[in-house]
């Protein structure tokens, strides 16, 4: 299946801004982050088709996944 993945801020560094990925059925958002080498400690908001989702959320054909970094500085 094909899923569009969007990355934000420094998560793009050395990766991409937006890309369509071929994934196996049953893939979760967490699996995408891990496959991209993103430290899960860095992950903040995750969204599936513009709605908040958990890392354990499974993705499906034509879904759009957005992964934002955790932002904590003040």
Partner 1 sequence: MSVVSAIQRIATEGTISLKHAGKLAAEYGLPLAEVEKRALSIEIWPLRYLRNSPLLSPTEQIKLLESTVVVAGCGGLGGIVAMLLARLGTGRLILVDPDRFEESNLNRQLFCTVKTIGMFKAEVAARKIGEINPAVSVTAINDTVENTRNAINRASTVIDCLDNIPSRLTLADMSRRAGVPLIHGAVSGLAGEIAVEMPGAKTVMERLYPNPAARQRPPAVPGFSAGAVAALQCAEVWKILTGRKALPSGSRIFWEIDDFCFDQG
Structure-derived torsion over alpha carbons of residues 21, 22, 28, 32, reported in degrees to the nearest 10 = -40
**Nearer to partner 1 among residue 1 and residue 36 (C-beta):** 36
Min. distance of Cβ 3 from partner 1 in angstroms? 18
Does 25 interact with partner 1 (rule: CB under 8 A)?
no
Using the contact rule CB under 8 A, the part of the chain among 18-26, 36-44, 57-65 near partner 1 is: 36-44
Q: Which of 70, 64, 74 is nearest to 29 (CA)?
A: 64
The half-sphere exposure of 23 on its side-chain side, counting CA atoms within 13 A, is 27
Query: Where along the sequence are the contacts to partner 1 (CB under 8 A)?
Result: 8-10, 40-47, 50-52, 54-55, 66, 68-74
């Amino acid at each position: 299946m094909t899923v569009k993945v969007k990355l934000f801020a420094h998560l793009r560094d050395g990766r991409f801004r937006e890309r369509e990925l071929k994934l196996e059925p049953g893939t979760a958002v967490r699996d995408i982050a891990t496959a991209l080498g993103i430290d899960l400690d860095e992950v903040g908001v995750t969204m599936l088709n513009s709605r908040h989702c958990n890392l354990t959320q499974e993705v499906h054909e034509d879904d759009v996944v957005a992964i934002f970094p955790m932002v904590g500085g003040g």
